[in-house]
Amino acid sequence: MIIRSKAPLRLGLAGGGTDVSPYSDIYGGCILNATTSLYAYCDIIPTNSGTINFFLQDKNEKYSYKSERTLPIDGEIDLLKAIYNRIVKDYSLDALSFDMHTFVDAPAGSGLGTSSTLVVAIVGAFTEWLSLPLGEYDIANLAYKIEREDLLLAGGKQDQYAATFGGFNFMEFFADDKVIVNPLRIREETLDELSRNIVLYYTETSRNSSDIIQLQQENVKHKNKESLEAMHKLKEQAIMMKEALLRNNLDEIGHILNIGWEFKKQMAKGITTQLFEDVYSSALKAGAIGGKISGAGGGGYIFFYCPNNTRYDVIQSISKFGGTVRRFEFTEKGLKTWKN
């Protein structure tokens, strides 16, 4: 028997960063994101071998451990081991034996929520295998707690909920980890046109998002006026983006992205780089209306809204920077699990 799962990676369209504590606890956060046809995958094959084997297929790496109730958190694939430890602990399970294969369609640190999405996929696979009583909110919350509480990794809450629920969602974040996911009903032709008009560009660089997020958190704690005002404006941007999508005002989306990008850069140092500024400027000159970096910043993917047929000119203009354009579609489904 093979237990399989997949969870979609996301694009954060508006409000990015307002889902991070302590801002979301004090002021409440708003995010609008959408899932893509890029995925994190997990396969679990139960065995009686007395071992636990992790195969990271996208990295061509293998790690093996003796089956125990708790695996060591020692800097070696801690994310995967922490998921196993939490599942066994929370549900009072005996030590398990299995082979786990994982694969992600985008590199770590690329800004598409890869790590959190992989956590959701793995939690989903365990839920399918062990028939755990977890609904969508439960899976997303557990994935969040594993990263933020068990491993103390800096970050927000949107990635786990986007990967679990899927589709276009307007999310609200409050104190005490309260999250409300509001799915948006968007016409199919609107989704097709939006996918057609967005150019997703990988700069072939990556970053450690936790460093930027920690700076952002410090700015909130110390009530940095410029940073706080930028976050307040990004919340407003999320509401503007929601209204534009529901009213089918697609070209307005580019302008909203551009506004958001200017405010996002004010949240913390390191969000933008000279490479990003050069790529962004070139894309606008070629016909893009607006765009933004995906994720916390500092590296990874950047995307642009290109109306009419300007996408071809934009792709040509940014190709000189050595990155790669990635084709994708927006998707309506989140986490999927099944047995083979």
Backbone φ and ψ of 210, nearest 5°: -60, -35
In-domain check, residue 171: yes
Pairing of strands 51-56, 98-104: parallel
Helix, coil or strand: residue 213: helix
**Do residue 154 and residue 23 come from a single domain?**
yes
Number of domains in the chain: 2
What SS3 class is residue 8? strand
Last residue of a domain, one of 134, 158, 185: 185
**One domain for residues 240 and 200:** yes
Query: Does 155 share its domain with 211?
Result: no
Is residue 333 included in any domain, yes or no? no
- Amino acid 318: pLDDT: 97
Residues 121 and 209 in one domain: no
Q: Residue 132: inside a domain, yes or no? A: yes
Domain membership flag for residue 336: no
DSSP designation for 319: G
Q: What is the pLDDT of residue 267?
A: 87
Is the pTM higher than 0.85? The answer reads yes
Catalytic residues: 159
Q: Give the separation between CA 21 and CA 18, rounded to whole angstroms.
A: 8
Tell me, yes or no, whether 148 and 262 share the same domain: no
**Final residue before a domain boundary, out of 156, 185, 214:** 185
**Does residue 166 sit in the same domain as residue 231?**
no
157 and 230 within one domain: no
- What is d(CA 86, CA 117) in angstroms, rounded to the nearest whole number? 17
> Which element (helix H / strand E) includes 250?
helix 250-264
Query: If phi over 0 gives left and psi between -120 and 50 gives alpha, with beta otherwise, what is residue 131?
Result: left
Q: Are 170 and 192 within one domain?
A: no
By the 8 A CB rule, do 315 and 190 touch?
no
Nearest 5°: the CA angle 187, 234, 250 is 25
pLDDT of residue 84: 98
Same domain, 144 and 211: no
Tell me the two tokens of residue 255. Answer: 């302008």
Closest CA to 148 of 110, 115, 103, 181: 115
Task: Quote the pLDDT of residue 207.
Answer: 66
What does the block give as tokens for 213? 């997020």
Q: Say which residue the tokens 């952002």 belong to.
A: 216
Residues of the chain with pLDDT under 70: 207-208, 296
Using the 3D structure, point to which of 152, 185, 218 is the last residue of a domain.
185
Distance CA 91, CA 86 (A): 8
Give the per-residue pLDDT at 316: 97
Number of helical (H) and strand (E) elements in the chain, helices listed first? 11, 12
- Beta-carbon contacts of 153 under 8 Å, excluding residues fewer than 6 positions away, are 115, 147, 210
Does residue 331 form part of some domain? no
What is d(CA 45, CA 117) in angstroms, rounded to the nearest whole number? 20
- One domain, residues 196 and 248: yes
DSSP 8-state code for residue 330: B
Same domain, 263 and 203: yes
Tell me how far apart the alpha carbons of residues 99 and 45 are, in angstroms, rounded to a whole number. Answer: 5
Give the pLDDT confidence score for residue 271 in this predicted structure: 84
Three-state secondary-structure class, residue 148? helix
Q: Tell whether 321 is covered by a domain.
A: yes
3-state helix, strand, coil in the chain (%, to 5): 40, 25, 35
Whether residue 337 is contained in a domain is answered as no
The enclosing domain of 229 has a CATH number of 3.30.70.890
Task: Please tell me the predicted confidence (pLDDT) of residue 109.
Answer: 85
Identify whether residues 201 and 246 lie together within a single domain: yes
DSSP label of 246: H
Range of the domain at 204: 188-326
Could you give the CA distance from residue 325 to residue 26 in angstroms, rounded to a whole number?
Answer: 38
Interior angle at CA 12, CA 9 and CA 17, nearest 5: 120
- 42 lies in a domain? yes
